[in-house]
Amino acid sequence: MLNMSTVARDYKDLVTSWMEQIALDLSSENDAHVEMIRRASFLIRNREVQATEYNHLYEQLDLTISTGNQAYVTVDFFEKQLTCTCDYNLISSDETYCEHVVAAAMFLYQYQHSVQKWVADWRTKKTVQTQLIIQERTPAAWQSMAQAVVHSYAPKNHYIEPYLLTSIDARIHERLALHTPVEREWRLLYKLYMELYVLNALWPHIYDPNKNAGLMFTYFLSRKQDDIVSLMDDMGDGLKLFEMDAFFTNVEDMLHTLLLEQEGYDSERFAIYCHYWQYVQRNKTVRKREVERLANSTYDMHMIELFFALLLQDEDKIFAVKEHSAGYCSYYLELASIAYSVKSMRSYEHLLKLVLLDLEAYTNKYVPGAFHKIHAEKMMAMYAHISLNEHEEHMLYRALGAYGLQFYSMSLIQQQRYREWVALHMMKPTSLLDAEMSGLKDVLAHEPALLLPLYHLFALREVEQKSRSHYKQAVRIWKMMKSAAKKANKLAYFEQYIEAMQQQFKRLRALQEEMEKGKLFT
């Protein structure tokens, strides 16, 4: 006969360690965890957990749990794990808990201790911790609070699906915001501290080089970078109290973790690190100490040395840089932005011209397609502050691809090089909409005759699609062409042209009908 008291006594220490692990992994601040504990304790009170078989040889206990859908839990004392038929492998791993394995652990625990007291102690843990943190303003207290909140939403080694990332981050910061200090200077420091802590804590959950988080992680990181940089900007000229020194030391430690220990998105991590040392920590002694600290690490000091050279206005070191590659571009662009902010324009120009040599490869390899437009706008804004010769301009526009074409077109318009504008759009596979966004109306106003071949090209592309909707669009383009011909005093030429088109496509009845409706013939 199965004697559960004996089994529970034999494995008392193991069962107790399981319950302690549950208390650590499940947070009384998490509504889902509270509900799980409530359901598990309900199953124990109503005796819904029953032992069915114990195998002495394999040290395995089988439990049946009567819920809406009956579940079966196997307690493997030898392997020190609990497994459930609802596909959760718990306690021995760091996966998500289910109410069945929690109830199974409670079932064994009740033979030696009070489950009711354990639940009460677990629920009061939140109040005690919160009161302690509110009373004590130290880096250790802030870290303990952040650790507890993060762990309740993102257990250790648990991969977070990218689509859940934003909501989990928002919930974590919503909970942390409840303890924000009232004083403005402390409030900003607190927010920066928590942003960096949460970002570092979530990074291993969301960045995995063997998994593709896709654009969701990229968007998330871009937004977090903006938030952190904005906080640093607000803190830059703020009052720094003596009591804050220990907190700033912790912030710098977290920046070290972000820069040196995390993987992936190197340029974003580098940008956050640099922004802090440029705008928040301006003490030269502390900066020099930071350089020495990095020198003792395994981190590639090349970019950091250039960064601090910019802060110290050492332009000779910047001009000594000759090496370039697509992989360096993101770093050089960030350093160029810093050079501009410290008004080191010669360094700014030198760095941007190094980037230009590999900008096309960098754009195609490292910039996601969804960000190409933003990237092109940023590049044009940066290069607008330096002088480029004609060859360098062509390199810039070519590097930016389709979006570079638009900027190049506007440049040609400004220089009144209308014939080259038309040649560019005939050579590249652009659309009528692209041409209109790139200054077609300006060409029409000054040199309408030049546009006639371009309108012809656009119309033929529509006809080749062989559908009535495309035929209608072709007729609209021919009407634009007619208007341009009339403005250029070449209406007779257009009439001969449209008659030739009618003859060329006489077998396309739908097109002939649309041409008649469009009143293209006089």
Q: Return the bridge partners of 62, or none.
A: 53, 74
Confidence at 89, pLDDT banded by 50, 70, 90: very low
Distances (CA, A) of 443 to 44, 305, 481, 485, 510: 81, 49, 13, 13, 32
pLDDT (tens digit per residue) in 285-302: 888 888 788 877 766 677
| 384 located within any domain | no
Tokens of residue 115, six digits: 């489950």
Structure tokens at 122: 């677990």
Does residue 422 lie in a domain region?
Answer: no
Flag whether pLDDT at 129 surpasses 60: no
> Kind and range of the H or E element at 501?
helix 491-504
Within-domain flag for 427? no
Same-domain pairing of 86 and 146: no
> HSE of 135 in the Cβ direction (CA atoms, 13 Å)?
6
Assess if residue 233 is contained within a domain.
yes
In terms of domains, do 147 and 276 share one? yes
Q: Are 74 and 60 in contact (CB under 8 A)?
A: yes
Contact criterion met (CB below 8 Å) for 148 and 140: no
Residue 237 lies in a domain: yes
What is the pLDDT at residue 394? 84
Q: Are strands 89-90 and 60-65 parallel, antiparallel or unpaired?
A: unpaired
The token duo for 478 is 């021919």
Domain that holds residue 106: 4-123
Say yes or no: 63 and 164 in one domain.
no
In a domain, 65, yes or no: yes
**pLDDT bracket for residue 474 (50, 70, 90):** very high
| Cα separation, 345 vs 220, whole angstroms | 32
262, 141: one domain: yes
| Residues 119 and 141 occupy one common structural domain | no
Same domain, 242 and 141: yes
pLDDT single digits (tens) 482-519: 999 999 999 989 999 989 998 998 888 999 888 888 88
Nearby residues of 153 by Cβ (< 8 Å), 6 or more positions away: 30, 168, 171, 172
Single residue among 73, 100, 123 that ends a domain in this structure:
123
Kindly state the helix (H) or strand (E) to which residue 142 belongs, with its residue range.
Answer: helix 139-153
Q: Are residues 116 and 142 in the same domain?
A: no
How many residues are present in the chain? 522
Same domain, 55 and 192: no
Task: Judge whether 330 lies within some domain.
Answer: no
User: Is the distance from CB of 445 to CB of 487 less than 8 angstroms?
Assistant: no
- Band the pLDDT of 199: cuts 50, 70, 90: very high
In percent, the amount of the chain with pLDDT more than 70 equals 91
Do 268 and 191 fall within a single domain? yes
Q: Is the pTM of this model over 0.95?
A: no
Q: Are residues 110 and 26 both part of a single domain? A: yes
Choose among 342, 334, 336, 316: nearest CA to 384.
336
User: Is there a single domain that holds both residue 220 and residue 241?
Assistant: yes
328: phi then psi, degrees, rounded to nearest 5: -85, -15
Look at residues 102, 103, 107 and name the one whose alpha carbon lies nearest to residue 91: 102
Does 371 map to a domain? Answer: no
Helix runs in 320-439, H state only: 329-341, 345-356, 359-366, 372-383, 390-399, 401-414, 418-427, 432-437
β-sheet with 60-65: strand ranges across: 49-55, 60-65, 71-76, 81-84, 89-90
Q: What is the Cα–Cα distance from 380 to 377, expressed in whole angstroms?
A: 5
Both 170 and 222 in one domain: the answer is yes
Q: DSSP assignment of 262-290, as one string?
A: --S-HHHHHHHHHHHHHHT---HHHHHHH
Distance of CA 405 to the CA centre of its chain: 28
- Domain end: 251, 282, 313, which one? 282
Among 73, 94, 123, the domain-final residue is 123
Q: Are 36 and 43 in contact (CB under 8 A)?
A: no
Tell me which residue of 152, 265, 282 sits closest to 215, measured CA to CA. 265
Residue 83, both tokens:
């497994």
Domain count, the chain: 3
